[in-house]
């Protein structure tokens, strides 16, 4: 892996370095979306304030990663700790760009990052709020079909069918679970995200996405158990992050043969 990273760094052109430089700024914006969108707060035009003292943050406070490091993770005005949320999202967005460049090269990496950053946002929102907003899932579905029209127009019928089947399958699973267990197991947002996965990946990929997502969720539950969290029958994990991860991995490596 280190040899691949060194080789990739040596071969990066303007497009690759531009993507790496842009990624933390994208992550900063994604952090704003993750925080504000579920609360119905404005995302694009609202000024950034310190959440502790309310002081307006200026440009020098908002340089991704660097501002946080320069102030040692504290507000310049009140000295309160700023927390790891924003630098965490910025580093995650940078990691998406690095993986895309290593796996796919500079030409494909921009599209990889668009999908990866979108799924990162949805997964993080789901972890924080147990919501997958329609404002993000439905445009992601439409964008998958648009990408198909642009690059693989002959696959459009397959992608559209995959989106419809993906949605219906998870809605059916959610209905059956609620009927027999008496409580909700999967939300409509999960079904819409699975539909978006179908729009990006096609019918053949759907079994792999759902199996990878289920395996990742089980692994996360096992890790929580090993870490000392007492697992109970009625405990649940948000499924969106695992669906997003499985979708992105399948986007890179393609569907296996089932």
Is the pLDDT assigned to residue 5 strictly greater than 60? no
Rounded to whole angstroms, the Cα distance separating 192 from 195 reads 5
Q: By the 8 A CB rule, do 28 and 48 touch?
A: no
Q: How far is Cα 86 from Cα 124, in angstroms, rounded to an integer?
A: 12
Q: Could you tell me the end-to-end alpha-carbon distance of the chain, in angstroms, rounded to an integer?
A: 29
What are the CA-CA distances from residue 140 to residues 14, 58, 70, 94, 121 (Å)?
Answer: 28, 32, 36, 21, 11
In this predicted structure, the answer to whether residue 54 has a pLDDT above a threshold of 80 is no
Tokens 């760009």 sit on residue: 97
Backbone dihedral angles phi then psi of residue 233, each to the nearest 5 degrees = -60, -35
What would the two tokens of residue 240 be?
A: 């969106």
Q: Work out the pLDDT band at 155, boundaries 50, 70, 90.
A: very high
Once rounded to an integer, what is the mean pLDDT over residues 155-174? 95
What is the total residue count of the chain? 258
Q: Kindly state the average pLDDT of the residues 136-163.
A: 96
Distance between CA atoms of residues 156 and 14, nearest Å? 33
Q: What is the pLDDT of residue 258?
A: 46
Give CA–CA dist 120/196, Å, rounded. 14
pLDDT(86) > 80:
yes
**Arithmetic mean of pLDDT over the chain:** 87
Answer yes or no: are the C-beta atoms of 37 and 133 closer than 8 Å: yes
Q: How far is CA 189 from CA 122, 127, 135, 159, in A?
A: 10, 13, 11, 19
Q: Taking residues 227-236, report their average pLDDT.
A: 65
CA distance 188 to 48: 32
């Amino acid at each position: 892996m280190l040899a691949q990273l060194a080789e990739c760094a040596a071969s990066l052109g303007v497009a690759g370095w531009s993507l790496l430089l842009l990624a933390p700024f994208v992550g900063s914006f994604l952090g704003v979306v993750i925080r504000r969108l579920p609360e119905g707060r404005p995302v694009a035009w609202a000024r950034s304030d310190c959440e502790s003292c309310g002081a307006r943050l200026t440009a020098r406070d908002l340089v991704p990663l660097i501002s946080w490091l320069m102030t040692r993770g504290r507000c310049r005005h009140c000295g309160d700790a700023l927390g790891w949320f924003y630098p965490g999202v910025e580093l995650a967005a940078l990691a998406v760009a690095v993986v895309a460049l290593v796996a796919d090269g500079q030409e494909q990496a921009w599209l990889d990052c668009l999908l990866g950053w979108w799924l990162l946002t949805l997964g993080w929102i789901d972890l924080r709020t147990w919501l997958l907003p329609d404002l993000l899932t439905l445009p992601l579905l439409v964008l998958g079909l648009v990408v198909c029209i642009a690059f693989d127009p002959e696959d459009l019928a397959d992608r559209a069918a995959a989106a419809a089947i993906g949605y219906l399958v998870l809605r059916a699973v959610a209905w059956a679970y609620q009927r027999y267990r008496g409580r909700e197991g999967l939300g409509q947002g999960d079904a819409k995200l699975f539909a978006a996965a179908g729009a990006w990946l096609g019918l053949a990929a759907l079994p792999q996405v759902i199996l990878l997502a289920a395996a990742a969720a089980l692994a996360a539950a096992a890790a929580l158990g090993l870490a000392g969290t007492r697992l109970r029958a009625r405990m649940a994990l948000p499924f969106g992050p695992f669906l997003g991860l499985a979708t992105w991995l399948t986007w890179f490596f393609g569907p296996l043969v089932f």
